[in-house]
Amino acid sequence: MTTHLPPNQTLDTDSSAQESPMPNNVLKHDEPDNQAMIDEDTDALDHDDLLEEDSDIDDEIDDSDIEDDVPVAGQAVPVVVDMTHIVTEDESGLRIDKVASQVFSDFSRVQVQGWITDGSLLYNGSVQRPKVRVKANDVLHLSTTLQQHSEDQPENIDIDVVYEDDDVLVINKPVGMVVHPGAGNQTGTLVNALLYHYPQQHHLPRAGLVHRIDKDTSGLLLIGKTKPAQMALMEQLKDKSVYRHYQCVVAGDAASLLRHRRIDAPIGRHRTQRTKMTVMTAGREAVTHLLNVTPLNENYCLLDVGLETGRTHQIRVHLSHVTYPLVGDRVYGGRRQLRSGLTEAQRQAISNFPRQALHAYTLGFVHPTTGEDIEVTTPLPEDMQQLIAVLSDGYDDEYDK
């Protein structure tokens, strides 16, 4: 990841103290600063999260969302399916329904068998029984229109695609975009945009989303384009073969932050303020790792953060708990964001920063079809780059003295 900061100011936390090693069952990185990256062992979205209009979540989609039949609600949306498959040598001798279920894997076996029977799925141009055995170079052609019911409607909203193939999509979500429609946000979401640009995502739960991030957090989101891909990627989140790097700007000096490079403090929902999380003995286990600390000036730093667990608001809660909150965090930061020694320009930049300075900039996963290790990165958004430039203004010269 490249920023405008002098490279000699980056402090590698791996050499700063002795502590138990972090989990190593994640993809390896070529750069030393990125080794032993921790991914999020993420939580499912609970009922309270669904009710939050401005929910700050970074979690996986619950397995219970994945069903053979999407619940019927709202207006019917027609989705045209037109797919052709030529039988391979390896598939020769198998039944039509078995081959079709394997190659048209977006759909359930019951759906495929029904299409074979009603003529939507043709074998060499004609209707055949499901148990007929296929031969190499035979042609299966599926042509049908799905009446998918959903209350989430497509909208022509631009999305920034940073990786795409037949199975997987990775997008860079901008600040201010809600991921999924919910209370107070029925339109203008990423799901609405996905349904417009990728209409076949209608038949996938949550339009193929694998995890989610808050509307005021920018960065990378992983999406399955088929049901098997979505399921496989969700499983990877659980077994930690998906990893994500986050960068954030915090109020705190480097030496103090390095003393907290492993924050182990359970997190639970606040007893009286239900949209907030807090450190509490009765909470769920939560562990955050500060992988790299880059001083911007004497009292502010850019952090590279990895999560051993993935609780709601975890990065924000943990850093606030150790008294070094994210810049722009109105919920967990408060006046502690303003430290001594600031110029007027720096003070204004911090006071006026409109959101938590948090960005998911690296995403790594095992491709669900090829097994290849994939890593995608995206630069810090403009607002965070400008904040960093203001906070580090003049510090380069001071540091070099």
Q: Which of 214, 216, 304, 329 is catalytic?
A: 214
Alpha carbon distance 343, 354 (integer Å): 19
Alpha carbon distance 232, 224 (integer Å): 9
Name the residue with tokens 């037949």.
166
Alpha carbon distance 266, 76 (integer Å): 44
138 is catalytic: no
CB neighbour burial string for 327-342, b if at least 16 within 10 angstroms, e if fewer: bbbebbbeeebebeeb
- Which CA distances in Å does 29 have to 125, 182, 185, 245, 370? 49, 36, 37, 11, 19
User: Which residues are marked as active site?
Assistant: 214
